[in-house]
């Protein structure tokens, strides 16, 4: 029986997702077909449709999984209402999951979900409440652009080197 958590189904889902990630590196989502994914994953179309309604459903499920994976990275902090601003942890996670994050950005998910959790309380020490939203948007856009550039360059810098660049930009804050 092909239940949600059986080993064979999990392997099929992984193959489908991997094929989708690979195809997304060279094509827009609108140009990818179920047949393309199935050929690349070496699976039947029926296997795809046993798991997803269509390409959009696949992208939505991947998006949900990405958000969950990202949230798990800082789950301890979220559950304790704490923010370490640990960008090194984030950068290491991105470097280990480059294909995942390249797809994240290509799907435009950076506009629907903040890849960075920003500590508003810390910001209030340096910026007044009236203008904090502008600072936060500036910071979010800047760090997102730096991460995209880093990914496009194949994560040529180490996580620590990238962290040092960010730290240098915000020195004294």
> What pTM did the predictor assign?
0.72
Residue 28 lies in a domain: no
Residue 48 lies in a domain: no
Q: Which helix (H) or strand (E) holds 101?
A: helix 98-106
Q: What is the pLDDT of residue 122?
A: 58
Residue 135 lies in a domain: yes
CB 32 within 8 A of CB 54: no
Residue 160 lies in a domain: yes
Q: What is the pLDDT of residue 149?
A: 95
Residue 102 lies in a domain: yes
Whole-angstrom Cα distance, residue 124 to residue 138?
15
Q: What is the pLDDT of residue 71?
A: 77
SS3 track for 116-156: CCCCHHHHHCCCCCCCHHHHHHHHHHHHHHHHHHHHHCCCC
Print pLDDT tens along the chain (173 aa): 566 678 999 999 999 999 999 999 889 899 999 999 999 999 999 999 999 999 999 999 988 887 788 778 767 665 665 455 578 888 998 999 898 888 888 877 776 555 555 555 556 666 667 777 788 788 888 888 999 999 999 999 999 999 898 888 876 55
Alpha carbon distances (Å) from 9 to 13, 15, 35, 69, 111:
6, 10, 18, 20, 31
SS3 track for 14-38: HHHHHHHHHHHCCCCHHHCCHHHHH
Q: Return the SS3 of 70.
A: helix
Q: How many domains does the chain fold into?
A: 1
Domain carrying residue 161: 81-169
Residue 110 lies in a domain: yes
Residue 126 lies in a domain: yes
Residue 132 lies in a domain: yes
Distance of CA 87 to the CA centre of its chain: 14
């Amino acid at each position: 029986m092909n239940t949600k958590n059986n080993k064979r189904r999990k392997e099929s889902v992984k193959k489908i997702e991997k094929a989708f990630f690979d195809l997304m590196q060279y094509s827009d989502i609108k140009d990818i077909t179920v047949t393309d994914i199935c050929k690349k994953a070496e699976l039947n179309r029926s296997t795809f449709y046993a798991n997803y309604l269509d390409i959009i459903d696949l992208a939505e499920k991947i998006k949900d999984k990405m958000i969950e994976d990202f949230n798990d990275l800082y789950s301890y902090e979220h559950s304790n209402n704490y923010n370490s601003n640990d960008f090194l942890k984030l950068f290491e996670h991105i470097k280990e999951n480059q294909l995942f994050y390249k797809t994240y950005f290509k799907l435009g998910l950076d506009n629907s979900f903040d890849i960075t959790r920003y500590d508003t309380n810390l910001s209030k020490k340096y910026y007044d409440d009236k203008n904090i939203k502008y600072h936060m948007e500036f910071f979010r856009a800047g760090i997102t652009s730096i991460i995209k550039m880093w990914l496009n360059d194949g994560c040529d810098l180490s996580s620590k080197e990238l962290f040092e660049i960010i730290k240098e930009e915000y020195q004294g804050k």
